Amino acid sequence: MEERKGFRSYFGFLMAAVGSAVGLGNIWGFPFKMGKGGGFAFLLIYLVLAAVCGAVVMLGELALGRKTGQNAVTAYRAVSSRFGWVGALAPVTAMLILSFYSALGGYCIRYLVLNVGCLFGTEWGANGLSGATVFAEATADGGMAVVYGMIFMALTAVIVALGVRGGIERFCSVGMPLLMAMLAVIILRACTLPGAAAGLRFMFVPDFTPLREDFMGVLRTAGGQMFFSLSLAAGVMITYGSYTEKKQHLARSAVTIVLCDTAVGLLAGMAVLPAAFALGAPESAMQGPALLFITLQDVFSGMGQMGFVFGIIFYGLVILAALASSVSMLEVPVAYWTDRQRQKGDKKRRRWPAVLCLTVLSGALCAITCADGLGGNGVWVPFQRFFAGAEKIPAFCDCWLDFLDMLSEGLLMPLGALLTCVMIGWVIKPETIRAEVEQEDNRFKTYRFYRICVRYIAPAVIALILWGQIRAFFG
Ligand code: TRP
């Protein structure tokens, strides 16, 4: 059988894994949730959750991947017959996320183009319109959104098709350091705006009231954010883990990825919140699509010509972050596909057909999401009619973006993470993970802590998160 090639270097692996983790979640979710959830108090909870759940699941996935040397689907099957089916959830979750993630990535490209247009005063610029109007037009124009969504998907597909080394590793090794440099430029600009300090105060000043008033709510927010932000429970870390070498210390890698991801979340906050506060934006415009596509565009437009240069840098960095994430999602099913070809001894084994088929599949869902705008274009209506027989239509079911997000992030991810913890903690036993970490003289010093987390703490916390989500789903 032909050799299964992985990452060329440890740096390449780290950049790919951090690239997967760092994405839209960090830029538009983390800063605001931290500010709302009590600043440093929230950060503390987030870090504890990341340590007892995030890093634990991450290490489990990395070890599972490297131990079996297989893709996410067959990795589960290889270690447990009873939990083998859990692996099948991974490509489904990854493809679902990929489809709406690409729709958003498409909007980012559109905004990059928009700022180039503004800079040169062409008609495809903002033409002096406010961010809200530009965004309303962008979402209402379903056709255009589909085109940009497809451009984003195509970029993702090309990088993945070029291979683990030639595509993903090379892109992330250059893209991630570049992203940090661009982020530094934006932070400098944002923090020197008049009124910027209010943004930093919002995000960093500790406030324990939210924790006292609604501890469960904060826990659920922090937990959901963490799973999505760390790219867990969609097979990404299993797949990337299968591309690393035995001499690498997996436990240390898992902690490094978590810390880098949190650091970028904090840095992104220092870039976007001061700018939003300097503009005097309402709180509702400080997170999600509104932050990225309305508030910040207003900030850039308000700075004169130089503002568009910053706009180009900013949307450029968001596109880099989003692409490094989307390639990781596409790689999950592609790895499964190519592994199967390898097993069958297929001589003409190629990545292209796999990438093409999976891109078309996910692209179709992406196109629906794009055409729907943010639900305003009514693409969901026929489905609503279909579900109308049901007693109660859940509130989020009027928008494709929210529906796909809820299905993947809200349900499939916590479910996958829970099952993974139960499998590692109780079926294949934490010793298996220890043996995988302690290869080639590596020592797993925090093993006892890990064991307690994976058997008791993580399953309990994830079950709590899942329970909260299900209640929201049917509530
Ligand atoms: N972590 C990415 C972000 O914060 C999103 C992401 C990439 C992801 N790969 C994933 C989320 C796999 C869930 C599963 O934007």
- Confirm or reject: Cβ of 400 under 6 Å from ligand 1: no
Torsion-angle region of 378 (φ positive above 0: left; ψ -120 to 50: alpha; else: beta):
left
Mean pLDDT of the chain: 91
Question: What is the sign of the dihedral through the CA atoms of 262, 267, 268 and 269?
Answer: positive
CA angle 331, 332, 337 (to 5 degrees): 90
Work out how many domains the chain is built from and give that number: 1
Whether residue 390 is contained in a domain is answered as yes
DSSP class of 412: I
- Confirm or reject: Cβ of 260 under 6 Å from ligand 1: no
pLDDT of residue 404: 87
Whether residue 50 is contained in a domain is answered as yes
Whether residue 4 is contained in a domain is answered as no
* Cβ atoms of residues 111 and 312 within 8 Å: no
d(CA 279, CA 50): 33
- Confirm or reject: Cβ of 91 under 6 Å from ligand 1: no
Q: Whole-angstrom distance between the N-terminal and C-terminal Cα of the chain?
A: 52
Ligand 1: atom nearest CA of 408 is 13
Ligand 1: atom nearest CA of 233 is 14
pLDDT of residue 249: 96
**Tokens for 340?**
């199967």
pTM for the model stands at 0.94
Q: How far is the CA of 289 from the centre of ligand 1 (A)?
A: 16
CA angle 95, 111, 307 (to 5 degrees): 140
**Looking at residues 319-339, what average pLDDT do you find?**
97
Q: Within 10 Å of residue 342's Cβ, how many Cβ atoms?
A: 14
Residue nearest to atom 6 of ligand 1 (CA): 231
AA identity, residue 448: R
d(CA 311, CA 468): 38
How far from the centroid of its chain's Cα atoms is residue 196's Cα? 27
Inter-CA distances, 348 with 163, 331, 335, 352, Å: 15, 19, 16, 11
Residue nearest to atom 14 of ligand 1 (CA): 231
pLDDT of residue 220: 83
**Tokens for 183?**
């982020």
pLDDT of residue 289: 87
Whether residue 3 is contained in a domain is answered as no
pLDDT of residue 397: 62
In the predicted structure, residue 7 carries a pLDDT above the cut 80: yes
b/e code 431-440 from CB counts within 10 Å (16+ = b):
ebbbebbebe
Enclosing domain of residue 14: 10-474
Longest dimension (CA), the chain: 64
pLDDT of residue 378: 77
Q: Which of 68-72, 139-143, 166-170, 314-318 has the lowest mean pLDDT?
A: 139-143
Q: Which of 122-126, 404-408, 430-434 has the lowest mean pLDDT?
A: 122-126
> What residues contact 445, with CB distance under 8 A and at least 6 apart?
none
- Confirm or reject: Cβ of 20 under 6 Å from ligand 1: yes
- Confirm or reject: Cβ of 98 under 6 Å from ligand 1: no
Q: 121 vs 359, which has greater pLDDT?
A: 359
Confidence bin at 366 (pLDDT 50/70/90): very high
**Looking at residues 295-321, what average pLDDT do you find?**
93
**Tokens for 208?**
């324990």
- Confirm or reject: Cβ of 329 under 6 Å from ligand 1: yes
d(CA 169, CA 171): 6
Whether residue 2 is contained in a domain is answered as no
Whether residue 389 is contained in a domain is answered as yes
**Looking at residues 409-428, what average pLDDT do you find?**
94
- Confirm or reject: Cβ of 24 under 6 Å from ligand 1: yes
Torsion of CA 393, 395, 398, 401, to 10 degrees: -130
Burial of 360 (0-12, 13-18, 19+ CB in 10 A): exposed
d(CA 186, CA 268): 9
CA angle 265, 98, 388 (to 5 degrees): 110
In the predicted structure, residue 250 carries a pLDDT above the cut 60: yes
Confidence bin at 386 (pLDDT 50/70/90): low
Confidence bin at 252 (pLDDT 50/70/90): very high
**Tokens for 351?**
């990545």
Residue nearest to atom 12 of ligand 1 (CA): 231
Confidence bin at 349 (pLDDT 50/70/90): low
Q: Which of 34-43, 121-130, 152-161 has the lowest mean pLDDT?
A: 121-130
CATH code for the domain in which residue 354 is found: 1.20.1740
pLDDT of residue 413: 93
pLDDT in tens, 79-126: 999 999 999 999 999 999 999 999 999 999 999 999 999 999 887 777
How far from the centroid of its chain's Cα atoms is residue 156's Cα? 14
Whether residue 5 is contained in a domain is answered as no
Question: What is the sign of the dihedral through the CA atoms of 135, 394, 461 and 66?
Answer: negative
Q: Within 10 Å of residue 326's Cβ, how many Cβ atoms?
A: 28
Whether residue 40 is contained in a domain is answered as yes
Question: What is the sign of the dihedral through the CA atoms of 455, 461, 465 and 468?
Answer: positive
Residue nearest to atom 13 of ligand 1 (CA): 231
Ligand 1: atom nearest CA of 23 is 15
Inter-CA distances, 133 with 52, 127, 287, Å: 44, 11, 18
* Cβ atoms of residues 358 and 337 within 8 Å: yes
In the predicted structure, residue 172 carries a pLDDT above the cut 70: yes
pLDDT of residue 125: 79
Q: 41 vs 375, which has greater pLDDT?
A: 41
